[in-house]
Amino acid sequence: MQGVVFLGDRRLELREFPDPTPGPGEVVLEIKASGMCGSDLKFYRAPPGAAQAALGLGGSAEPDIAGHEPCGVVAAVGPGVDEAQARVGMRAMNHHYTGCGHCPYCRVGWSQLCKAGFTVYGVTGHGGHARYLKAPARTMVPLPEALSFVTGAAISCGTGTAYNALRRMNLSGRDTLAIFGQGPVGLSATQLAAAMGARVFALDIGAERRALAEQFGAERVLDPAAADPVEALKALTHGEGVDQALDCSGAPEARVQAVRATRTWGTVCYVGEGGEVTLDVSPDLLRRQVTLIGSWTFSSLHQAECARFVADRGIDVERLFTHRWRLEQAEEAYRLFDTQTTGKGVFLME
Ligand SMILES: [Zn+2]
Ligand SMILES: [Zn+2]
């Protein structure tokens, strides 16, 4: 089979790999849809291996197949896999991490927190930008019948990450929420938070992304480059500031603005990866009793919960995708995604 590998410095290639065979406890997932995630750009852009090292993920000398939003159908099952866990023909998403499998984190589906080390499929192990993906059966998350493979791909990182952040923030329908950055995670957060009943103010410097946010249920969209977003958000909330703010941009100035636009007793959550932030701790946090949360992806159980939420509420996750590609178009696909002006892209295998 062929798989997309990132060579570093914005270069990639389609490389030949043997078709995988499942070992004990493993399955092979035949990929139907493999999403492109904003965090892939870190690995795409960086010198070889540098982004993995910067995020503390380790990795092998040879590049692995990219893509950490794999979704498809179980094609083969190895010895010792229980029918209830995975069977041939099962529609499934992959929770794209594996750890030791028995520590307190792994046992509740948070294998990316495993202290014994963990693999990230698509980053430090072969991922979904190929015909097949081999992974332990326990990493397979059933895809509800009502959801398409493309929707499952989004839930496998971007949409799932947004869902888990909102869950950790205990977002309620009473809340006003500012979402900084309307890339695939921010747009998902806009869509989900609107479905949860919150008033959403969506911020992005890109006009195309602001237009998508409006379609996805944001009550107001703001361009942080045009006017001070802290003042604008206070003006929309009786001078108080928003109840909650979510940063999906990872931009240092947006992180500060998210904190300063949040009202006293409010909650701020960071999901944008990498980089730094400088806060004036007493006025920004302590004196206003602000809660600051860091949230990184989701457990396999919350991935399943997110899929149920999306199915039950009839959320049109497919609208996140502005581009559908074939593997042979990977260079063009990542060159366009690299502009960070579009919605999400996905590779379809058939
Ligand atoms: Zn991701
Ligand atoms: Zn573990």
Q: Which ligand is nearest to the CA of 103?
A: 2
Q: Which ligand is nearest to the CA of 35?
A: 1
6 CA distance to ligand 1 centroid (A)?
15
Q: Which ligand is nearest to the CA of 158?
A: 1
CB neighbours of 323 closer than 8 A, spacing ≥ 6? 333, 336, 337, 342, 343, 344, 345, 346
67 CA distance to ligand 1 centroid (A)?
9
337 CA distance to ligand 1 centroid (A)?
14
DSSP 3-state assignment of 220?
Answer: strand
Predicted pLDDT of residue 58: 65
pLDDT tens-digit map of 99-153: 999 999 999 999 999 999 999 999 999 999 999 999 999 999 999 999 999 999 9
Predicted pLDDT of residue 336: 96
Predicted pLDDT of residue 62: 82
114 CA distance to ligand 2 centroid (A)?
4
CA dihedral for 256, 257, 262, 263, sign (positive or negative): positive
Residue 31, judged by CB atoms within 10 A of its CB (0-12, 13-18, 19+), counts as buried
Q: Which ligand is nearest to the CA of 110?
A: 2
Q: Which two tokens stand for residue 275?
A: 């980089």
What mean pLDDT comes out for the span 168-174? 98
Kindly indicate the confidence band of residue 191, based on its pLDDT and cuts at 50, 70 and 90. Answer: very high
Q: Which ligand is nearest to the CA of 119?
A: 2
251 CA distance to ligand 2 centroid (A)?
31
Task: Phi first, then psi: give them for residue 180, nearest 5 degrees.
Answer: -90, 120
Confirm whether pTM is higher than 0.85. Answer: yes
138 CA distance to ligand 2 centroid (A)?
13
What mean pLDDT comes out for the span 70-79? 98
Q: Which ligand is nearest to the CA of 114?
A: 2
- E-state strands within the chain: 2-8, 11-16, 26-35, 70-77, 91-94, 97-98, 119-120, 132-136, 140-142, 176-180, 199-203, 220-222, 242-247, 262-270, 291-294, 321-325, 344-348
The CA distance from 61 to 293, in Å, is 34
Which residue in the block uniquely carries the two structure tokens 């989701």? 298
Task: Phi first, then psi: give them for residue 340, nearest 5 degrees.
Answer: 50, 40
